[in-house]
Structure 1
Amino acid sequence: METLVYETACELSLTLRDLQHLSDIDKLRLLMKNSSAERYVKDVFQWMVPFLHRCEKQIGGASEALLREYLVTLSRQDLSLPLAVFQHSRPDVSIHTPHTHRAVPCRVKVFQPGGLQDVH
C-alpha cells in the first residue's frame, strides 16, 4: 500500500479502504499505471518484482499467474513494454522456461484476427 500511495502517485481519489479491497492484479496494474516507457523496466524491478514476491509468499504460484495475466493483457495494446521486460530478463534463459510460457500468450493475442490492428 505504501508504494502505491507514496512512490507511484497512483489514483489519488482512492481511499485506503478502496486500495485494500483491490484484487492483486488491479494493484499490479495500478503500480505500473504511471510508469513511462523510459522508466518502465526500472519500475518493473523497483515496484513490480517486490510486489510479486510478496504475493508469492502469501499464495504459492501467485506471482507467475499475476505476471502472466498482466503481460498478456498489456500485450493486447502494445508489445513494446512486455518485450522490454523479456529483453531485460536473464539472458541465459533457455527457450523452455516460464519466460517462454509468458511470452507465447502475448504473441498469440497480437496475432489473432484483429489483433494486429491494436499494435502500435
Structure 2
Amino acid sequence: MSTMTQRRPHWVYDAGQEPDPRFSLANERTFLAWVRTALAILAGGVALQALGLPDTDWVRDGLAVALVLLGGLVTVLAMVRWARIERAIRTRTPLPAFNLGILLTGAVLVGAVLLAFAFA
C-alpha cells in the first residue's frame, strides 16, 4: 500500500493529483485560523458565564450555551471546509462557496444585538 492511500480522509487524498505543497499548507493554516476563532468563541461563552455578564440570567445562559455550541460547530465546519478545499485543489476544480463566513457573521450579529439589549 502506498503512502498516498494511507492518508485520511481518503475521499480527499485519493482524488486528483498531488498539488504544490504551498497550496495545501496555506489551506492548513486557514483551517488552523478557523480553529483559533472557534476557541475564541468558546472562551467568550465561558467568560460570559464565569463573569456573570450580563445580569439577565436567561440572556447570559442562552448566549453562553450558544457560543459554546457555535465554537464546536465552527470547528467541525472548518474541517469540512478544509477537506472540500483540499479536494478542489487536488482536482483543479473551483473552490467551494464561503458559507462558514456567512454563518459566523450572522451568529456574531445576533449575539451582539442580544448583548446590546441586555446591557441597555
Which TM-score tier does this pair reach, normalised by the shorter chain? under 0.3
Bigger relative contact order, structure 1 or 2, given CA contacts below 8 A and separation 6+?
2
More helix by share: 2
**Higher Cα radius of gyration:** 2
- TM-score, reference length from structure 1: 0.26
